[in-house]
Amino acid sequence: MHEHGTGGDTQQRVLRAIPSRGLAGTVAVPGDKSVSHRAVMLGAMAIGTTRVKGLLEAADVLRTVQAMAALGASLERHADGTWHISGVGVRGWREPEQTIDFGNSGTGVRLAAGLVATTPVKVIFTGDESLSRRPMQRITQPLSLFGARIDTAPGGTLPMRVIGAEEPVPVSYTLPVPSAQVKSAVLLAGLGAPGTTTVVEPVACRDHTERMLKAFGAGIEEEMHDGARHIHVTGMQELSAQEVEVPGDPSSAAFPLAAALLCADSRVVVENVLLNPTRTGLIETLHEMGAEIRILNPRQSGGEIIGDLAVETSELRGITVPAQRAPAMIDEYPVLAVLAAFAHGTTRMEGLAELRVKECDRLSVTAQALKACGVEVKTGEDWMEVTGSGGAPVKGGAVIDSHHDHRIAMSFLVLGLAAQEPVTVQGAEMIATSFPGFTQLMRALGAEIEAVHDANGDAGS
């Protein structure tokens, strides 16, 4: 297995965004994180050699690469950037010699637990400080139904030990909350159980796992009953290696899009963006707010819809974002809240309970950071209201703690680009978990983002 770096942000612990205008250019954002994780995992299980182009080579996905290698797959990065992955077959995982550390990746650890739950191996998963606070009971409960034995730390958090089932049984499981990670963990576990495993999804959430399983030749069927989606996967069937091209991550595209909307006299095109209907909630919301965003050259690849997004500076108006849209844009609420701060009127976002168990409590951290920048915000247990500035620049001028959250860091750098005064973000090294090269890409568009040694702005040596 060959390691690959995570871009230019890893050493820049403190970044400052300086008010900018006239952003312009055509850029491509890194590969989609959700698709990248799944391509690595299914390639590691499939028979033959899977070739993946455009893999997101960020910290979270590289943890998944390392995990699949520890479980027996062969993964190699070639000089042209293509990854070649030789899989082990269904239930072919080997017991790893050491603990598998997933760093900050909630997707990686939860999906990997599903992969090994129906293979008789013992695996211990750990993560960093942030991931070790996130709840794991949501997967331990359904995975134990297959016959796996799973132990966690007190409170249902990492470290987590999974002893895969010797004789797994198929499961039928109804998702208590919309979670693509839980759904995916159960479907992946079902690959190693005899018979048919079913997930019932009352509220639609990301469907990348189902799309990619079909592409790899899995027996997977979907039907609607009483308004709920029933997804059936047939176990004990081998997957076939595939050619996978990973499209650009819409959650990463959100940041140059938002900056172009807010910074005066800007016109930006983001190429090759994943436009899966379960991921376009932000674009739908911004259209309702009056944003000038056009979809160019829509096309299909690997079962996914892809297109180019052309955006220009726009006057935004406040709206109510309904709770049912939350699963299609759960990672974009921090940057949406920043956009709302510059809009005319009030934007109300509902159905945000899931934000409280992300890399940090994103709901409260976003609200605190907005207030520090002079924005009027109200929050409840699962909602947030942001009163916009009426199109004028918000004050800014704050020092923001990212709380080890990459999306908080990028969202408030975007705010600083359009504010009256620069905004400084601490903990910006976390940006590398999802968007290596973020600062270089934004600077290429004309955004002023500089590295500083500490929050007081003294230059580092």
Q: Which two tokens stand for residue 284?
A: 């739908």
Please give the Cα distance from 254 to 330 (Å, whole number).
Answer: 12
Q: Where are the beta strands (DSSP E) in 110-192?
A: 122-126, 149-153, 157-163, 172-174
- Whether 32 is catalytic: no
Q: Which of 331, 361, 405, 454 is catalytic?
A: 331
3-state helix, strand, coil in the chain (%, to 5): 35, 30, 40
For residue 142, say if its preceding peptide bond is cis, omega within 30 degrees of 0. no
The DSSP string of 69-123 is HHTT-EEEE-TTS-EEEE---TT-PPPPSSPEE-TT-HHHHHHHHHHHTTSS-EE
Residues 272 and 295: beta-carbon distance below 8 Å: no
Q: What is the 3-state secondary structure (H, E, C) of 358-410?
A: CCCCHHHHHHHHHHHCCCEEEECCCEEEEECCCCCCCCECCEEECCCCHHHHH
Please give the Cα distance from 455 to 364 (Å, whole number).
Answer: 21
The pair phi, psi for residue 165, each rounded to 5°, is: -70, 130
Please give the Cα distance from 84 to 1 (Å, whole number).
Answer: 10
Instruction: State the DSSP code for 31.
Output: B
Please give the Cα distance from 13 to 86 (Å, whole number).
Answer: 36
For the chain, counts of helices (H) and of strands (E): 12, 24
Residues 106 and 184: beta-carbon distance below 8 Å: no
Please give the angle made by the CA atoms of 255, 7 and 421, to the nearest 5 degrees: 40
If you search the block for the tokens 């001028």, which residue do you land on? 397
The DSSP string of 270-293 is EEEEE--GGG-HHHHHHHHTT-EE
Contacts (Cβ under 8 Å, ≥6 apart) of 225: none
Active site residues: 331
